[in-house]
Chain A
Amino acid sequence: MDLLSVPSPSALLLALFVVGYLVLAGADVGLGMLMPHVARSPEQRRRVVASIAPYFLASEVWLVAAVGVMAGMFPELEHLVVARLWPVLVVLLAGWLLRDAGLWFRARVDTPRWRGLCDTAIVAGSWTLAVSWGLAVAGLLSGGLSPSPFPVLCTITVVCLFALRGAAFGAERLVGPFEAESADVAARATRSLARFALGATIATVLAAPWSGGPSPTSLGAAVTLAVVLAAALALTCGLIGPMFSRHTSALAIAVPGLLVASTAGLPTSGLPGTTAVFVWSMLLPVVPVMLLGQVWLYRMTRRPAKGATFFA
Chain B
Amino acid sequence: MLEDPLALARLQFAFTAATHYMFVALTLGLAPYILFTQFVAVLRGDRSRMLSVRFWGGLYLVNYGMGVLSGLVMELQLALNWSGIQETFGYTFAAPLAIETMTAFFIESTFLGLWIFGWDRMGRWAHLFCFLVVSLTAYGSAWWVLVSNGFLRHPVGFEMVDGVAHLTDPMALVTNPAAVLAFLHVVTGAMTVGALVVAAVSAYHLRRGRDEHGIFRRGIRYSAIMMCVMPMLVVSFGGAQFQIFGQDPPTSGLTYTAEEIATIEASGGGGLVAVANLTGDVVMMTSWAVMFFLGPLIPLFLPLLSARRGRWGRRLGLAPGPELFSRPPARWIRWALAPLLVSPALPYLASIGGWVYRETNRQPWVVVHHLTTADAMTPMSPAAALASFTFFTLAFTVLAVVTYTLLFRYARRGPEGGPLAERRADAGPGADEPAAPVHTF
Identify which of A58, A86, A294 contacts B384 (C-beta below 8 A). A86
Identify which of A86, A175, A286, A301 contacts B102 (C-beta below 8 A). A286
Task: Contact check, A183 vs B438: say whether CB atoms are below 8 A apart.
Answer: no
- Size class of the A contact interface (CB-based, 8 Å): 35 or more
Task: Contact check, A54 vs B117: say whether CB atoms are below 8 A apart.
Answer: yes
A-B contact count (CB 8 A): 219
What is the CB-to-nearest-CB distance from B130 to chain A, in angstroms, rounded to a whole number? 9
Q: With a CB–CB cut-off of 8 A, which chain A residues contact B402?
A: 105
What is the CB-to-nearest-CB distance from A176 to chain B, in angstroms, rounded to a whole number? 7
Task: Contact check, A82 vs B79: say whether CB atoms are below 8 A apart.
Answer: yes
Q: With a CB–CB cut-off of 8 A, which chain B residues contact A290?
A: 102, 106-107, 110
Identify which of A58, A86, A286, A308 contacts B423 (C-beta below 8 A). A308
Identify which of A64, A93, A172, A296 contacts B106 (C-beta below 8 A). A64
A57 to B122, CA, bound (A): 20
A57 to B106, CA, bound (A): 9
A169 to B138, CA, bound (A): 31
A296 to B133, CA, bound (A): 14
B92-133 CB contact bits vs A (8 Å, 1 = yes)? Answer: 101111111111011101111110111011100000000001
A75 to B78, CA, bound (A): 12
Q: With a CB–CB cut-off of 8 A, which chain A residues contact B395?
A: 94, 97-98
B78-97 CB contact bits vs A (8 Å, 1 = yes)? Answer: 11100100110011101111
Task: Contact check, A279 vs B75: say whether CB atoms are below 8 A apart.
Answer: no
Task: Contact check, A65 vs B101: say whether CB atoms are below 8 A apart.
Answer: yes
Task: Contact check, B420 vs A75: say whether CB atoms are below 8 A apart.
Answer: no
A272 to B167, CA, bound (A): 8
Identify which of B105, B118, B161 contacts A64 (C-beta below 8 A). B105
What is the CB-to-nearest-CB distance from B321 to chain A, in angstroms, rounded to a whole number? 36
A218 to B76, CA, bound (A): 30
Q: Answer whether residue A219 sits at the interface, using C-beta atoms and an 8 A cutoff.
A: no
Task: Contact check, B87 vs A303: say whether CB atoms are below 8 A apart.
Answer: no
Secondary structure call for the B interface: helix
Task: Contact check, B75 vs A67: say whether CB atoms are below 8 A apart.
Answer: yes
What is the CB-to-nearest-CB distance from A108 to chain B, in angstroms, rounded to a whole number? 5
Q: Answer whether residue B436 sits at the interface, using C-beta atoms and an 8 A cutoff.
A: yes
Q: Which residue of B lies closest to A175 (CB)?
A: B439
Q: Which residue of B lies closest to A56 (CB)?
A: B113
Secondary structure call for the A interface: helix
Identify which of A58, A86, A175, A271 contacts B380 (C-beta below 8 A). A86
Task: Contact check, B95 vs A279: say whether CB atoms are below 8 A apart.
Answer: yes
Q: Answer whether residue A89 sits at the interface, using C-beta atoms and an 8 A cutoff.
A: yes
Identify which of B103, B120, B167, B435 contacts A178 (C-beta below 8 A). B435
Q: Answer whether residue A111 sits at the interface, using C-beta atoms and an 8 A cutoff.
A: no
Q: With a CB–CB cut-off of 8 A, which chain A residues contact B69?
A: 97, 100-101, 104
Q: Which residue of A lies closest to B121 (CB)?
A: A300
Q: Which residue of B lies closest to A270 (CB)?
A: B164
Q: With a CB–CB cut-off of 8 A, which chain A residues contact B437?
A: 177
Known: A72-B98, A78-B79. A93 touches B90 (CB 8 A): no
A57 to B161, CA, bound (A): 39
Task: Contact check, B419 vs A107: say whether CB atoms are below 8 A apart.
Answer: yes
Q: With a CB–CB cut-off of 8 A, which chain A residues contact B78?
A: 71
Q: With a CB–CB cut-off of 8 A, which chain A residues contact B283?
A: none
Known: A68-B75, A96-B72. A86 touches B378 (CB 8 A): yes
Task: Contact check, A274 vs B166: say whether CB atoms are below 8 A apart.
Answer: yes
A172 to B66, CA, bound (A): 30
Q: With a CB–CB cut-off of 8 A, which chain A residues contact B345?
A: none
| Size of the chain B interface, CB-CB below 8 angstroms | 77
Task: Contact check, B166 vs A272: say whether CB atoms are below 8 A apart.
Answer: yes
Q: Which residue of A lies closest to B436 (CB)?
A: A177
Q: With a CB–CB cut-off of 8 A, which chain A residues contact B112?
A: 57
Task: Contact check, A104 vs B65: say whether CB atoms are below 8 A apart.
Answer: yes
Task: Contact check, B423 vs A89: say whether CB atoms are below 8 A apart.
Answer: no
What is the CB-to-nearest-CB distance from A54 to chain B, in angstroms, rounded to a whole number? 5
Q: Answer whether residue A7 sits at the interface, using C-beta atoms and an 8 A cutoff.
A: no
Task: Contact check, B97 vs A82: say whether CB atoms are below 8 A apart.
Answer: no
A73 to B437, CA, bound (A): 51
A79-118 CB contact bits vs B (8 Å, 1 = yes)? Answer: 1001100110110011011101100110111000000000
Known: A93-B73, A108-B419, A309-B117. A279 touches B109 (CB 8 A): no
Q: With a CB–CB cut-off of 8 A, which chain B residues contact A76?
A: 87, 90
Q: Which residue of B lies closest to A93 (CB)?
A: B76
Identify which of B106, B164, B384 contacts A87 (C-beta below 8 A). B384
Q: Which residue of A lies closest to B424 (CB)?
A: A307
Task: Contact check, B76 vs A300: say whether CB atoms are below 8 A apart.
Answer: no
Identify which of B80, B166, B419 contacts A86 (C-beta below 8 A). B80
Known: A94-B391, A275-B95, A278-B170. A75 touches B117 (CB 8 A): no
What is the CB-to-nearest-CB distance from B78 to chain A, in angstroms, rounded to a whole number? 7
Identify which of B94, B107, B161 contacts A286 (C-beta below 8 A). B107
Q: With a CB–CB cut-off of 8 A, which chain A residues contact B161?
A: 272
Q: Answer whether residue A239 sits at the interface, using C-beta atoms and an 8 A cutoff.
A: no
Q: Answer whether residue B388 sits at the interface, using C-beta atoms and an 8 A cutoff.
A: yes
Contact sample, A vs B, 5 pairs, CB 8 Å cutoff: A73-B90, A75-B87, A97-B399, A283-B99, A310-B419
Q: A60-B72, A97-B69 are known contacts; what are 15 more A-B pairs with Cβ within 8 Å?
A: A54-B113, A57-B109, A61-B106, A76-B87, A89-B80, A105-B65, A177-B435, A271-B91, A275-B166, A278-B99, A283-B99, A290-B102, A300-B117, A300-B118, A306-B120
Report A's interface with B, CB cutoff 8 A.
54-55, 57-58, 60-62, 64-65, 67-76, 78-79, 82-83, 86-87, 89-90, 93-94, 96-98, 100-101, 104-105, 107-109, 171-172, 175-178, 180, 183, 271-272, 274-275, 277-279, 282-283, 286, 289-290, 293-294, 296-297, 300-303, 305-311
Report B's interface with A, CB cutoff 8 A.
58, 61-62, 65-66, 68-69, 72-73, 75-80, 83, 86-87, 90-92, 94-103, 105-107, 109-114, 116-118, 120-122, 133, 161, 164, 166-170, 173, 378, 380, 384, 388, 391-392, 395, 399, 402, 406, 419-420, 423, 425, 434-441
Q: Which 4 A-B pairs give the minimum distances between C-beta atoms?
A: A75-B90, A72-B98, A68-B101, A293-B110
